[in-house]
Structure 1
Amino acid sequence: MENFRKVRTSEEESPLPFPDLPPDVVEMKVKEGSKIRNLMNFAMAQMELKGSRQIVFSGCGRAVTKTITCVEIMKRKLGGLHQVTKVRYKTLLEVWENQDPLPGGPAQNLTVHKNVPSICILLSRDPLDPNQTGYQPPEPRHGPGTQLGDAEDTSGSSAKGLKRPLPPPHEELLTKKFQVQVPDNPRGSGTTDRQPDHHH
C-alpha cells in the first residue's frame, strides 16, 4: 500500500436509529476534523433561537469521542435534556489511488470497505420512552441557570483539579520508597568496594 494514497472517504448513508423523529430534526454529523466550537454554536442556535425540541449528534470512527464531548457540553449548557444513545457499526468507503501506476497502464484505484464503530445520540427537551435501550434521564439541576453556570465552572475545574494532582502524589510516594532504598545502595557499593580488598 506504500504506493497508494487515500483520495476519498465516503460514509454509507443509513437512517437514524430513532423511531418517530420529526422530519425536520437537525442531525449534527461530527467529523474527526470538526471544530467543537463551530458545532456547538450551530447546535445551540437550533435549540435556543429556532426552538427545536430535539437534536441528534452522530459520529463514527475517530469522531466518536468528539461526538460525546459535544453532547455533554450541550447537556450542561441547556439542562433538562432527555438522552438516548445508540451504538452500531457503519461502513466507510475509502478510495485509494496508485501513485506509481505502470507506464501506459490505466490508473489504478482500490476501494476499501471499513466497518467502524458509530454513535448516534438523541437529545430531547420532551420526555422520551425511559424503557428503550440507551435512555438517560435529565441530570438534576443545581438551582437557577446562573448558579448552574458557576457550578459548572467550579465542578469542571475541581474535577480537573482532582484528576490531575492525584498522579504526582503517587509518584512522590514511589520516589520516597526509592529514596528509602537508596541508603541500601551505598552499602551494596561498599561491599563491592570491599571485594577487591579480599582479592588483595
Structure 2
Amino acid sequence: MAAGGERAKPAVQSRMENFRKVRTSEEESPLPFSDLPPDVVEMKVKEGSKIRNLMNYAMAQMELKGRRQIVFSGCGRAVTKTITCVEIMKRKLGGLHQVTKVRYKTLLEVWENQDPLPGGPAQNLTVHKNVPSICILLSRDPLDPNETGYQPPEPAAGLQAQPGEAAEDVSGSSSKGLKRPLPPPSEELLTKKLQVQGAGDPRGTGASDHQPDHHQ
C-alpha cells in the first residue's frame, strides 16, 4: 500500500500542473455606503494598476468636473495600493472627510486543463477565494461622524504651523550659530599682540617658529 501511495502522489501533481489560470473575476456587490449620488465615481484599484494613471483620472474628476465624492476600492494584493491612492489625494486636495469599510469579497478563478484527455472535452476548474477588501469614501461635504470608520479632515492649522515651526528653528539655530563662531575678547587681543610682535621681530611670528615642529 505504501508503494502504491508513493506512485499515486506524483501522478496527482502532474495532473495539477497541466492547469493554467485563464480568468479572474470579482463578485459584484454594492458599495457599503449610504446616500451616495447615483453617478459617484468608483476607482477600482487592481494589483497591476498604475498609481499615476489612477490619480490623474481621480484628480480630474474632483477638480475639473467638480465631483463632491469619490470611492476607492481594492481587494487582495491591491489593498495597499488603494490606501496609497487615498493618502495621495488627501494631501493634494485637503479638507476631505473619509469613511473606511473593510470586508471580504469572493474572487472567482477559472483554471483550464492544458492537456485534456484525447477525444474528451476540455476540463475547467472554478476556484472561489475569499480575500480582504477595502472601500474608502472621500467627500468634500461633511459625513456622519458617528458612522463606523469615519475619519475627519486633517486640521489645516496644524499643517500651516509646520512652516512657522521650521522658521523658528532656523532662526533660533542661526542666532545661536552667530554666537558660537565669535572668539572671546581675550583671543582677539592675543591675536593682535602676536601680529604686532611678529611684524617687529625679524625672525617672524611665533607661529612661523613652530612650523618645522608641525611638519615633523
How high is the TM-score relative to the length of structure 1? 0.71
Q: Which runs of 5+ in 1 are unaligned?
A: 152-200
Runs of 4+ in 1 over 2 A off after TM superposition: none
Question: Partner letter of residue 127 of structure 2?
Answer: V
| Alpha-carbon RMSD | 1.4
Q: Is 1:5 matched with 2:17?
A: no
- How far, CA to CA, are the matches of 2:97 and 2:160 in structure 1? 18
**Cα offset for 1:100?**
1.1
Greater Rg over alpha carbons, structure: 2
Which of 62, 75, 88 is 1:47 aligned to?
Answer: 62
Amino acid at match of 1:58: S
Deviation of the 1:143 alpha carbon = 3.1
Identity %: 94
Distance 1:98 1:140 in 2: 56
Show the counterpart of 2:131.
116
- Note the C-alpha offset of 1:138: 0.3
Partners of 1:19 and 1:136 lie apart in 2 by 16
Q: Which amino acid aligns with 1:65?
A: T
* In structure 2, C-alpha distance between the alignment counterparts of 1:91 and 1:20, rounded to whole Å: 25
Aligned length: 146
**TM-score when scaled to structure 2?**
0.66
The 2-side partners of 1:48 and 1:143 are apart by 22
The alignment status of 1:97 with 2:112, answered yes or no, reads yes
Q: Which secondary structure does the structure 1 equivalent of 2:126 belong to?
A: strand
2:49 to 25, 31, 34: 34
Alignment-mate amino acid for residue 5 of structure 1: R
Q: Is 1:56 matched with 2:71?
A: yes
State the 1:140 CA deviation: 1.4
Output one character per residue of 1:59-101: Cα deviation in whole Å (capped at 9) or x when no partner: 0000000000000000000000000000000001000000111
